[in-house]
Chain A
Amino acid sequence: MQKYIQLHVLTSYPASNLNRDDLGRPKTVVMGNSQRLRISSQSVKRAWRTSELFQQELGAEIGVRTKSIGIYVHQALTTGVGFGDAMEGASGGSLPTIKDKAAREIARAIAGVFRANKSAEKGKKDEEAKAKAELEKEPLAHLSRAELAGIAALVEECRESGKTPEKDALELLRRDNMAVDIALFGRMLAKNKPFNIEAAVQVGHPMTVHSVEVEDDFFTAVDDLNRDSTGAGHMGVSEYGAGLFYHYICIDTELLVRNLNGNEELAERAVRALTKACCMISPTGKQNSYASRSYASYCLAERGDIQPRTLAAAYLEPLDFKPEVEAVNYSGCADSERKNLFNRAVTELTTLRENYGKVYGFQTESASFNVPKGVGSLDEICNFITE
């Protein structure tokens, strides 16, 4: 694989509310002085990571994200199940149990590995309530299977001894056998800096290539205010938007291989899975109400060693239909081409790419597929980028 792989993806979503802000409005961004719909990169990454597709392609190599290590450890020790079973929600096993207080201490010690040290709070009054709250108030930690296995083994040791593990035993973080998704998207543990992983994949926020008015003013909210409070009648209007989204992803394959301790075969599988995911997986927000699952209509993949750059500038001017602009830019085109938003989006993107090449004097190799034209294939792209 070459150092950088860049993906430029155009996906059209029908009425949807894929990613909401704290008020339930679809996220937006202003670009080129016009408002666009936006999906946050966290949202798409989560959708990929948790997708069936990722499971199928990478299965056992995917890590686990959890806030509840302490709770699972505590549960495993007090109810007599293994740590792995506790994570699956089991309770009431046949293994020996230990007392609540000792279990809390152990849980706190183990969970403490994955966050900043809070022992300063110790010794204050109402310690029990605090300890409980503390167990439940963990930051999200992202762990590989190897690390989870390490925790499970340590839990069994503690069950045997009933003692809080020593410092040496708490060396639970590992860099070998790294989970693929951690290698791709990185992780940050506040306390254990050597075990932070820098993400090998940079994910842009998908945004529409045209301006979008989010239907979110107080005028539309009128319906919401009339919602029947008993739940009968009508459901109230939720906000939505539709659009053609541009999405940019940049993969640093050298870093990825390094994150995976030199396992190139796994890195290649990861890159393929990621490419498939960005073409096929939609954010999960409000899918039940909108069924807005979409495949990408267009994907342009680039490979090479030169500095990566997004092509978002192709849409600095929103692709809204303005007769006077269209007349100049598309004077040679058939009418259907001129009015077709998708075709124009592709034209703008490829033109900007070519012009970057012209001006800066170098060009990456590329491959693409175009669904409406029936040209190219996802397989070809996967092969192209892993060559």
Chain B
Amino acid sequence: MTDAALFQSIIASLPEIVVVTGACVLLILGQLVRKGQEHFLVSASVAVVLIAALATLLLASEVRPAYSGMFIADRFAVFFKLVFYLATILTFLLSRKYADIEGIASSEYYVLLLFALFGMMIMASATDLLSIYVGLELMVLCTYVLTGFLRRERRSNEAALKYVILGAVSTGIFLYGVSLIYGLTGTTQLNAMAQAVTGNPLDPGLLLAVVFIVAGLVFKVGAVPFHMWVPDVYEGAPTTITAFMSVGPKAAGFAVILRVFLNPLVAASDVWIIVAVIAVVTMALGSFVALVQDNFKRLLAYSSIAHAGFAIFGVVAGGQDGVASVMLYLLIYAFMNLGIFGAVIMMRNGDFSGEVINDYAGFAKSHPGLALLMLIYLFSLAGIPPTAGFFAKFYVLVALVERGFVVLAVIAVLLSAVAAYFYIRIVMVIYMREPERVFDPALTPMVRATLAFTALGTIGIGLFPAWFLGFAQQSAAGG
């Protein structure tokens, strides 16, 4: 690589460099911070992400390929990076008080989140199966550790262990697919893959390779049949990390899926039939199993499986609208899901875990404002207008019907009627039951800011979706 090319590559990956440098500096500084001064870590971490966001926006004007085809900074990547920044910053804001309550004092918590962010950013920009792998592993390694962060809790340890083992298996499957691709086509670059196939693109070997890669990626977004880790890991991890995982890494997984699946090689192999089946089964399983959950975090885990299923419908639709619909869905999902998780995190105070749904009985009586926020997030997750969740689903359905997948669209809406049931059930508990306890939410200014911001997004995108839709469509076109 010449000096000029290296310089260009460094410019293109400036946001990543900012994040990783910031994380390293914080790692050292974190050891010097005295007890009671942890808010410094939060502000510093947020500042790092904000600088990275600024760099991303400044560089967004043109498409910048970098590192000899391993990496690209395009609009598609910019969109996803903004979603990651959003998820990370809000997680930081939610974490401060929660970390105190749970007794998480170490600075590594924040550093690991920054490293996970770094991994996600690589995933969004990766254009080579190997750089995808590097980003993926960096991200999941951090989340493995974060999942087990409540060292004294058995649940947390178990979740981390489960996550590591299953994650390693899925990584192995993914790598096996990559090696097959390399053996058959002689390249791992996404763009070169399709051109390298001289013979029949439906060669059984290639098909097998694609299936392995699909399986590896599907694990990361928690879709059936690789969803089994989701409920346990979501339940066991610290709630702030659960919130983060349900939004950031999931969006990163989708970023890769979109890049890989829309690759001509994969698109030619009729893989969409598999994907359609995955979408239907994922949504059905997530929705039906969520019906019987009593634990809020588990319910949200199944709900996130169901939402992943809905977003995969957008992948099935394909085309510019399909891609844009997935992206818009993830953005909106980030707002509403971080909102509802913010509410659950806020409830964790003293001896109150905030994890049992029935414990929320009568919450609307004592805290009408907070209850209203929860109502907004829940109706948005259920996809009821005028909230953003409705528009997210609407646009996926538009993409489906446009491509002629009317039957899939009908299945999708019927399953979302099932899903609506359990969100509405929580509203029922909050609004229609008598309170059994006194609520003392851990409301810090940071948590307040998070809740207000996510609510603003959930309502605002619902009422004025035009700008966000345009942003998603342009970003999809630039990918």
Q: Do A and B bind each other?
A: no
The chain A residues found within 8 Å of chain B, CB to CB, are: none
